Amino acid sequence: MIEGDIVQPGAGAAQTYGSGSSGRGAANLGDILERILDKGLVIAGDIKVNLLDIELLTIKLRLVIASLDTAREVGINWWEADPWLSADAARREDSAVSAGTAAPMPRAGESELRAENRRLRRRVTELEAGGEDY
Amino acid sequence: MTGHQGVWVYAIADHAGGDVFLPAGVARTQVRAIAAAGLAVLASHVDLAEFGEEALRRNLENLTWLEEMARAHHNVVDAAVRLFPVLPTRFSTVYRSEAAMVAALAERGDQLRSALARVGGRMEWGVKAYAVPAGEGDPTAGKGDASEPITASVAGQGPGTGAESGAGMAYLKRRRAQISARQEFSRTAAASAREVHIELSGHAAQARLYPPQAPALSRTKAPMLLNASYLIDTSGSARFGSVVAVATAAHPDLQLDLTGPWPPYSFTGLEG
């Protein structure tokens, strides 16, 4: 009942149950990074890389891992220009916007859409009166 | 090998000391057991030109470098956990000297020993549950977009605007039906995930829940409903596998991904 419908997790050691457990040495890079970067004993390190940097890195990586091969071909710095992924880029964009140099186009359209969404959602909520609160 | 040497730490081990035979560590360095706090620290000497603070920050952004080091680091921990109980340390724990490392651990011997006692003879298994998008059984489920977030406004956010056309009303009714179907589906799938977690926890020495990863960040478009790790007796691995298989069969609304066995990365008990 799931064939064709569901996007399977990337080929790797994250096994959809039934295909067998992951073997040694074959663990998927994403699974390894998730554990060694996010988990594990934290002892005071003499040499510290800001934990915030690591967390940001982890988030970036989770995205990258979705298309690791692609990311490699493209070069791994592509995210640096992406405001959603990079705090630096977001700051750059913000200051650009406040300086009036960035195209304001998407924002205006977006706020209209948001307002319309809000109206419609409210209406849906009203229609649903009697249903469960959400 | 030209710069100053630092110490890269892989894990704390319950090991009397002496030689250990482990795979090469990061940058093909030799892993040693260094005595600290009455325990052994599995560590290797690394070049600070590559692993010092600034270099590390730069290198961590290089996926090729990171992959090589991550695999090397994990290989050491994964080999060690088969020899003696270990508490894996967070990736990129580096000291400027063995003395600095020993000093950092000096006060924590008891804490570490009790954590080691807890993970000894046990391995970690990861389980993620994804909602299986509502299938043919649910005609209102839309076109495979079950991963679209359900956004339901909180009533009373502002005054309503009464304007509505016939078409708009029909749309809203359709939308309402879709939303209720999805909400119902999400509720039952989320309840299934909770049941699975309770069931699996019953077979585990310890369990840890993590926030589900957003669909954009995990490798599937289906919403993740459970992201958990379980600490399982080594002797119970096969049984745990069958428990997951039974849970899979019992919950067709979920897809369960099982990974492991892992060293007890989630159960070092000293987070933060």
Please state the pTM of the whole predicted model. 0.68
In angstroms, rounded to a whole number, what is the distance separating the alpha carbons of residues B132 and B255? 6
Residues of A in contact with B56 (CB under 8 A): 47, 49
Residue B11's SS3 state is strand
Q: In this structure, are residues B127 and B133 in contact, taking their beta carbons and an 8 Å threshold?
A: no
Contact A49 B61 (CB under 8 A): no
Q: How far apart are the first and last CA of chain B?
A: 33
Residue in B99, B121, B125 with CA at minimum distance from that of residue B227: B125
Q: How far is the alpha carbon of A100 from chain B, nearest alpha carbon, in Å? A: 31
Closest residue of chain B to A8, computed from CA coordinates: B220
> In this complex, do A17 and B133 lie within 8 Å of one another by their Cβ atoms?
no
Q: How confident is the model at residue B7 (pLDDT cuts 50, 70, 90)?
A: very high
Alpha-carbon distance of A127 to B169, in angstroms, equals 10
B45, B48, B51, B53 alpha-carbon torsion, rounded to 10°: 130
Residues of chain B neighbouring A36 (CB-CB closer than 8 A): 70, 73-74, 77, 88, 90-91, 265
- A17, A28, A72 ranked by CB distance to B245: nearest: A17
**Cα separation, A104 vs A97, whole angstroms:** 7
Contact A14/B at CB under 8 A: yes
Measured in whole angstroms, the distance separating CA B220 from the mean position of its chain's CA atoms is 16
Q: What is the pLDDT of residue A79?
A: 39
How many pairs of residues across A and B have Cβ atoms under 8 Å apart? Answer: 223
Nearest to B265 among A7, A39, A133 (CB): A39
Residue B2 pLDDT greater than 70, yes or no:
no
For chain A, the three-class secondary structure string (H helix, E strand, C coil) is CCCCCCCCCCCCCCEECCCCCCCCCCCCHHHHHHHHHHCCECCCCCECCCHHHHHHHHHHHHHHHCCHHHHHHHCHHHHHHCCCCCHHHHHHHHHHHHCCCCCCHHHHHHHHHHHHHHHHHHHHHHHCECECCC
Nearest CB neighbour to B133, from listed A6, A36, A66: A6
User: Which chain B positions have a beta carbon within 8 Å of A127's beta carbon?
Assistant: 172-173, 176
d(CA B249, CA B255): 10
**A11 vs B: CB within 8 A:** no
pLDDT 10s digits, B52-105 = 998 988 888 787 888 899 999 999 999 999 999 999 999 989 999 999 999 999
Q: List B residues 87-146 in contact with A (Cβ-Cβ < 8 A).
A: 87-97, 100-101, 104-105, 108, 115, 126, 128, 130, 132-133, 135-137, 144
**CA neighbor of B12 nearest in space, from B118, B109, B125, B92:** B109
What ipTM goes with this model?
0.79
Question: In this predicted model, what pLDDT tens digit does every residue of B207-244 receive, in sequence order?
Answer: 999 888 766 555 566 888 999 999 999 999 999 999 99
Nearest 10 degrees: Cα torsion A28, A32, A35, A41: 160
Between the alpha carbon of residue B245 and those of residues A19, A118, B123, B210, the distances in Å are: 11, 43, 18, 21
Answer for the pair B264, B13: CB distance below 8 angstroms, yes or no: no
- What tens-digit pLDDT sequence spans chain A (134 residues)? 333 333 233 323 344 443 333 333 457 787 888 888 878 898 888 887 765 565 566 656 655 554 444 444 434 443 344 444 444 444 444 444 444 333 333 444 555 666 667 777 777 777 766 544 44
H/E stretch holding B48 reads helix B48-51
List C-alpha distances in Å: B101 to A51, A57, B42, B88, B200.
19, 25, 11, 15, 37
Going from the C-alpha of A23 to that of each of A19, B64, B173, B261, the distances in angstroms are: 12, 23, 50, 9
Give the position of tokens 């040497």.
Answer: B5
Write out the two tokens for B123: 């391995």
